[in-house]
Amino acid sequence: MSKIVKTPLESLVNMMEMVMPNDTNPLNNLMGGRLMHHMDIAAAISAQRHSNSVVVTASVDNVSFDHAIPMGNIVSFESKVTRAFKTSMEVYIKVVSENIPKGHKTFTNHAFFTFVAVNSEGRPVEVPAIKPETEEEKKFYEDALQRRQLRLIMAGRLKPTEAPELKALFVKP
C-alpha cells in the first residue's frame, strides 16, 4: 500500500444544486436518477481528492429515497472517503434538502459508493491509506470492512466462508 496517509477531512466535498423544473418528475419532485447522478459526482470528487487519480464507480450501496425533494429546494451533498483499500475507496455521502424561504432542512438520503483509482490506461492504481480522526470517522472506518465483504459476496467475488468480519456477526463464539 502507498506510504502516504490522508485523513477523511482531506477528501471532504460539499456540493449544492437547486432543483429546477427540468430535474423533476410529474409530481414536481427531484427525479431519483438525477439525485443519484449528483451523488455520484460528489462522491467521485471525494475519491479523486483522496487518490489524486481518475476514479471509476465500482458500486453503490442501497440508495433509499426517504423524503421527496421538491422543485425549488436546494440539495446539499456532503461526501468523504471512509476507508481506503489497495486500489479502491469507500465514500459516504449524505444528502440534505433545504427550503430556504421556510428555513427548513430535511435529511433525505445517504449511501456508500465504492470507487477504484485508475491510471490513464484504465488500470487500477494504489491509493493512499486513510487515518480516521473523529469517533464518527473511526466507526465508519471499522465498519467499512464488513460492508466491503458484503459487497464482494453479493457480486460473487468472495465466498461467505472467506468473510471473517461478517461471520462474526452471525456465529456465536
Tens digit of each residue's pLDDT (9 = 90 or more) over 97-153: 999 999 999 999 999 999 999 999 999 999 999 999 999 999 999 999 989 988 888
Residue by residue, what is the 3-state secondary structure of 102-116?
CCEEEEEEEEEEEEE
Residue 5 contacts by C-beta under 8 Å, 6 or more apart in sequence?
128, 129, 130, 131
Average pLDDT, the chain: 92
- DSSP secondary structure string for all residues of 132-172: --SHHHHHHHHHHHHHHHHHHHHTTSS-GGG-HHHHHHHS-
What are the cell numbers at 56?
A: 471509476
Q: Determine whether 164 is exposed, middle or buried from the number of CB atoms within 10 Å of its CB (0-12, 13-18, 19+).
A: exposed
Q: What is the pTM of this model?
A: 0.90
